[in-house]
Amino acid sequence: MELGLIVIFWYGILHAFGPDHLSAIADFSIGRETKKTFLSVGAFAIGHGIMLFVFAKIMMHTAIPPEILGYGDIIASSVIVSVGVYLLSMVFRNKIHMKSHTHEGKKHVHIWFGDEHKHEYSGSSAFGVGVLMGIGGVRGMLVTLGVLQGQVVDFSMVFAFVLGVMVVFFSFGLVIFWINKDILTTIKNVRRVFTAVGVISILVGGNMLLA
């Protein structure tokens, strides 16, 4: 069983390196405060792992045709494209705002979507996005579980997978933290970064849909 958990852990690492996952992380963590950035990364990984666990359990008792599983990839790709379109719409409609202030000698920057006077961040739900994109990772997970024939799918496998995913996601989160801290210092940079993230999301998700 220990070997199986190691396999699942490394699958989580390789799985997390996908451009779709890194794009999704950027989508919901760009512009957030440090604590919220890493909470979002963790929520995405947990939602992703839970969905894969649920589908793995279902596949143990139900024969689902491969073509049906293919729809999971379409759902995951559509989510990425939709978030990219949303971000671009916020930029072009001038619905992204920034306010900075100094507290105890430290500069704090707040970024939020919507009306300027509301001062609320209405970014996408990291956990929800992780769940939806987990549907798209089912086929890859099943291939890995095929290596572990005879093993019962349990929460220890989910934990190993989520741990592997978090290694990559938290590392990428450090890059996002740097962008949030040192790049998003003016509203012009904020709009440029969100435009870039939105375009990348559309390109990555669109390429997956066409593949």
Would you place residue 85 in the very low, low, confident or very high pLDDT band (cuts 50, 70, 90)?
very high
Structural domain total, the chain: 1
- Comparing 39-43, 88-92, 99-103, 125-129, the range with the smallest average pLDDT is 99-103
**CA–CA dist 67, 80 (Å, integer):** 21
Would you place residue 104 in the very low, low, confident or very high pLDDT band (cuts 50, 70, 90)?
low
Q: Which of 154, 167, 150, 170 lies closest to 37, judged by CA?
A: 170
E strand residue ranges, 47-128: 96-103, 106-113
Amino acid in position 39: L
Domain, as residue range, for 52: 2-210
Q: Which residues of 86-125 are buried (b: 16+ CB within 10 A; e: fewer)?
A: bbbebbeeeebbbeeeeeeeeeebebbbeeeeeeeeebbe
> Which one has a higher pLDDT value, 152 or 50?
50
- Rg of the chain over CA atoms, in angstroms? 18
Which residues have a Cβ under 8 Å from the Cβ of 117 and sit 6 or more positions away?
none
Tens digit of pLDDT for each residue in 133-182? 777 666 666 555 554 555 566 677 778 878 888 888 889 888 888 888 88
